[in-house]
Chains A and B, each alone.
Chain A
Amino acid sequence: MKQMLSTLLFLCSSLANVGVAQEKLAKNEDSTDVRHELEVSGGSLPTKAEFDVLKEELENLKGKLDGLDESYIETKGTVDALKKIKVSGYIQAQYQSAETAGEATVAGGNFPSNVKQRFALRRGRLKANYDNDLTQYVLQIDVTQNGVGIKDAYASFREPWLRIFGVTAGVFNRPFGFEIPFSSSGRESPERSRICQTLLPGERDLGAMLEIMAESGSLSWFNFKGGFFNGSGSTANDYDSHKDFIGRLGAQVTVPERGFAIDFGGSAYLGGVRQPGPVVYKNVGMHGSGFKIFLKDSSSTNTGASADRNYIGVDAQLYYDLRTLGGLTIRGEYITGEQTGAFSSSTSPSSQPTEIVTRNFNGGYFYCVQNIGLSNQFVFKYDWYDPNTDAGASDIGRPGSNFGLGDIKHQTFGVGWIYHWDANVKLTAYYDIVKNEEINSAAAGSLAPFKTDVKDNVLTLRVQYKF
């Protein structure tokens, strides 16, 4: 190709010289001067036959170039169409060391019995996105040692006039709070807080959502996402006709000249869980002996009714650019409400539960992330989850109180160091210190270990590759 171009350039300049010379000759200028010019420029006047050959070669090369030009335009059209398809993904491979074998943890799932250290592929995501400006198709799968699962599968549309209103339908992140929709590839702690994992496991749900968000202009400080979802989470089929509303109203205040910004929002989850039978545990009362118990309600009207699943939350993220050191992020979220789960766990059910235990809860988290230069981040995190605010520590485990594993409060202190090797690779070392409330000394069975603080701290060493 290079050779062809240089030949073409040589031919062009030769022909240009010849052309000028012939033009001068045609104008009856002094032919001696013309010949002199050609001699000075290292050329000589070609014969007509030579000129015709050069002209023909030039025509051939011009034809080839036109062909290449056409081919380029055709290829460009194809490439432009392909550019709408964006493929991205990330892999998180990790080594974890637990304090005890078979430890129950929210730091990547329970350790199998007899296992104290493990390697795991925590996440293996592959995301395909067809972005046609106003419309989007997204499919994301998760491939780990446990198999392949669908994480996201949705279509979204934005109106063309104001480009502020959009609709999304399919399986996607539930619009609640900050940590739920915040990508696991960007989060500084290896896992979400216990409360987020318990209330909205898997983060996603099947539903349809309205989004109001302006990319620029006077409304860009405000955003809203809200919609109706099955409530069963991720790709699980629904088990009742009740649809849950989930929404978040957010705002941003930015002071660029100070390098300061605060984002904040309020979220609501208004839902329910179908009660399969008449037996429901909801209210906490006093036992005749003066301690709290979960009261059993066996009203026949309970069957088929909806047990409460209502949360409200507030969240805020503060960003401050500390000159010479790096950016500082402080974020926090507080959630409270009523959650329906089972005795052994307050996790939201993904299928029709057989036990209905509704509790008042609260919880939240705080992060402090300090960047040191481009590559290093230090993170300190605290989160807590009190699944039953009506039950005191001494009430749980007391014979006859009806409180179970799902009522125990936990607090987690996390400390970590993140090193960004390059634009793709991130290394994380993170240590979770988990504290449970110490329950009644009479506790027996599965509750017995919680009479003291269970040894369930976890060290996580993770490497992430993202593209």
Chain B
Amino acid sequence: MKRMIFLPLAPVIISSAAFIGMIFQSGNITVKGSDTMVILGQRWAEVYMSKHPGITIQVTGGGSGTGIAALINGTTDIANSSRPMKKSEVDKLKARYATLGVEIPCAKDGLAVYLNESNPVSELTVQQIKGIYTGKITNWKEVGGKDARIILYSRENNSGTYVYFKDNVLKGADFASSAQTMPGTAAVVNAVGKDVNGIGYGGAAYGKRIKFVKVKKDDKSPGVEPDAQTVASGEYPISRYLYMYTRSKPTGAVKEYVDWILGPEGQEVVMKVGYFPVRDFSTSGQN
């Protein structure tokens, strides 16, 4: 009988424990999401953990969509995403947690277009890139190259890079069916590095062993290569923010980690990895 009296109190006791646990959050932080941001996320985690020994940060990729899905189903604290959250994803967060998600721009990225080093083409307009990826331009000679079929390398549709490229370069049009989907930006770089007729796209930070195309806004504009200055100024036509998302306003260990990332040390890591900072600490030295 005594047990019966305490039964209705079970929810109160359990949720009080959950509430207290939430306030005194443990030192484990889980980060999932964008493959583009995996190296950046891992570098942040390594540097932060070396300076905060009590904290464990686990970083995994899988794509922006996968990270946001994990945020919705409660299996990650932070979702890394190379695209903004979709309305349908915000609706799912609202339905489950009554929160809208907190968007934290943490770095800037120039989405580079890669060619094999031996490809004579060095400049492309955004329109030409769109033509190539939608299958309207199929031969390199149509854009000033040699007479050879263009081999397209793309990303999987759960990738934020894929979504950004589709929305901002293809303007919503579908990729050509001949585009080969690769599991990550590193795989795209690797494929283009091996394929003299290949073309790919991805974060500028991955752009090693292949060359970046100079991208022109239109026929009359000069070709621009993605670098710190051109991406920060918006001169490079295909640039984007990289985001971290939390379910609600960060608290405890997550807040401290996010604050660190947005601070001078975190933004220095951004530059070291090859992306571009969202805040400039170089002159003022202020947080």
Residue of A nearest to B103 (CB): A256
Check A321–B87 contact: CB distance below 8 A. no
Check A373–B248 contact: CB distance below 8 A. no
- B287 CB–A CB distance under 8 Å: no
Check A376–B99 contact: CB distance below 8 A. no
Q: Which of B21, B23, B74, B167 contacts A423 (CB 8 A)?
A: B74
Assembly CA distance A325 to B181 (angstroms): 42
Q: Which of A329, A419, A422 contacts B14 (CB 8 A)?
A: A419
Assembly CA distance A323 to B249 (angstroms): 7
A80-B181, A327-B248 known; A372 vs B98 contact (CB < 8 Å): no
Residues of A283-337 whose CB lies within 8 A of B: 317, 319-321, 323-329
Check B18–A319 contact: CB distance below 8 A. no
For B97, what are the chain A residues with a Cβ–Cβ distance below 8 Å?
A: 326-327, 371, 374
Assembly CA distance A369 to B75 (angstroms): 21
Check B95–A373 contact: CB distance below 8 A. no
For A186, what are the chain B residues with a Cβ–Cβ distance below 8 Å?
A: 95-96
A323-B248, A420-B74 known; A373 vs B18 contact (CB < 8 Å): yes
Assembly CA distance A422 to B87 (angstroms): 24
Q: Which of A163, A182, A375 contacts B18 (CB 8 A)?
A: A375
For A74, what are the chain B residues with a Cβ–Cβ distance below 8 Å?
A: none
- A259 CB–B CB distance under 8 Å: yes
A376-B15, A378-B15, A419-B14 known; A321 vs B98 contact (CB < 8 Å): yes
Assembly CA distance A317 to B98 (angstroms): 10
Q: Which of A220, A327, A376, A429 contacts B98 (CB 8 A)?
A: A327
- A261 CB–B CB distance under 8 Å: yes
Check A321–B100 contact: CB distance below 8 A. yes
Q: Which of A216, A325, A327 contacts B87 (CB 8 A)?
A: A216
Check B100–A254 contact: CB distance below 8 A. yes
Assembly CA distance A376 to B13 (angstroms): 11
Residues of A166-199 whose CB lies within 8 A of B: 182, 186
For A376, what are the chain B residues with a Cβ–Cβ distance below 8 Å?
A: 11, 14-15, 18
Contact with B along A255-290 (1 / 0, CB 8 A): 010011101000000000000000000000000000
For A327, what are the chain B residues with a Cβ–Cβ distance below 8 Å?
A: 94, 97-99, 248
Check A220–B94 contact: CB distance below 8 A. no
A: interface residue count bin = 35 or more
Assembly CA distance A375 to B21 (angstroms): 11
* B146 CB to nearest A CB, Å: 25
Assembly CA distance A121 to B86 (angstroms): 35
Contact with B along A223-254 (1 / 0, CB 8 A): 00000000000000000000000000000001
A324-B22, A376-B18 known; A417 vs B11 contact (CB < 8 Å): yes
Contact with A along B57-92 (1 / 0, CB 8 A): 000000000000000011100000000101110100
A216-B87, A323-B248, A323-B249 known; A374 vs B99 contact (CB < 8 Å): no
Residue of A nearest to B93 (CB): A327
Check B23–A320 contact: CB distance below 8 A. no
Residues of B6-30 whose CB lies within 8 A of A: 11, 14-15, 18-19, 21-23
* A81 CB to nearest B CB, Å: 12
Residues of A359-395 whose CB lies within 8 A of B: 369, 371-376, 378
Assembly CA distance A237 to B199 (angstroms): 55
- A215 CB–B CB distance under 8 Å: yes
- A160 CB–B CB distance under 8 Å: yes
For B100, what are the chain A residues with a Cβ–Cβ distance below 8 Å?
A: 254, 256, 259-261, 319, 321
For B174, what are the chain A residues with a Cβ–Cβ distance below 8 Å?
A: 133, 160
List the interface of chain B (C-beta within 8 A of A). Answer: 11, 14-15, 18-19, 21-23, 73-75, 84, 86-88, 90, 94-103, 167, 172, 174, 180-181, 247-249, 251
List the interface of chain A (C-beta within 8 A of B). Answer: 73, 76, 80, 133, 160, 163, 182, 186, 215-216, 220, 254, 256, 259-261, 263, 317, 319-321, 323-329, 369, 371-376, 378, 417, 419-420, 422-423, 429
Closest 4 CB pairs of A and B: A327-B98, A417-B11, A423-B73, A329-B98
* A and B contact pairs by CB, cutoff 8 A, 25 listed: A76-B181, A160-B174, A163-B172, A186-B96, A215-B86, A215-B87, A216-B86, A216-B167, A254-B90, A256-B101, A256-B103, A259-B248, A317-B94, A319-B98, A319-B99, A323-B248, A324-B251, A326-B98, A326-B99, A327-B97, A372-B19, A373-B21, A375-B18, A376-B18, A417-B15
